[in-house]
Amino acid sequence: MIDFDTKKFHINPNYRLQFEEAQKCHVLLYPEGLVKLSDTAVEILSRCKQAVHKKTLIEDLQKDYPEAETLAADVSDFLEHAASESWLVVVED
């Protein structure tokens, strides 16, 4: 698990995030498998290509989606899930 309050993180460098024309959606590819991503998941994950802090990530997203009231909580939940699936990995200082 990632300590999101202190650590920076990014997408697992061994995974691939890309848009698939045939599927008409973004997918995240990992050893012998894939997951089709929702628009929200893509919006968050595409901002995690470079190392990022949770606080910065939420601030950036909130700027682009000012009307989203539960954004901070939703992003936190998503990050926990993404970390448990190894989509995200911690960046050691």
Partner 1 sequence: MLEDNNNDYIPMWLLAELTYACPLQCPYCSNPLSLPAGRKEELTKEDWIRVMKEARKLGAVQIGFSGGEPLVRKDCVDLIGTANDLGFYCNLITSALPLTEKKIEECKEAGIKHIQISFQGSDKETNAKFGGTDSFEHKLAMTKAVIDKEIPLGLNFVLHRQNIHQVTDFLMMAENLGAEFVELANTQYYAWALHNRDKLLPSQQQLIEAENATNRFRDQHKGNMNAIFVAPDYYERRPKKCSAGWGTTFITVTPEGDVLPCQSAKIIDGIEFPNVKDNSLGEIWQRSDLFNRFRGTSWMTEPCRSCPEKEQDLGGCRCQAFMLTGDAYATDPICDKSPQHDIIEKAIASAQVDDEEAQPLYFRNTKNSKKLSAMEEGS
Nearer to partner 1, 20 or 60 (CB): 20
How far is Cα 89 from Cα 66, in angstroms, rounded to an integer? 28
Nearer to partner 1, 21 or 69 (CB): 21
* Rounded least distance, CB 27 to partner 1, Å: 6
Nearer to partner 1, 5 or 21 (CB): 21
**Phi, psi angles (nearest 5°) of residue 61:** -65, -40
The residues, ordered by sequence, that sit 6+ positions from 49 with a Cβ below 8 Å of its Cβ are 10, 11, 17
Residue numbers at the binding site for partner 1 (CB under 8 A): 14-16, 18, 20-23, 27, 29-34
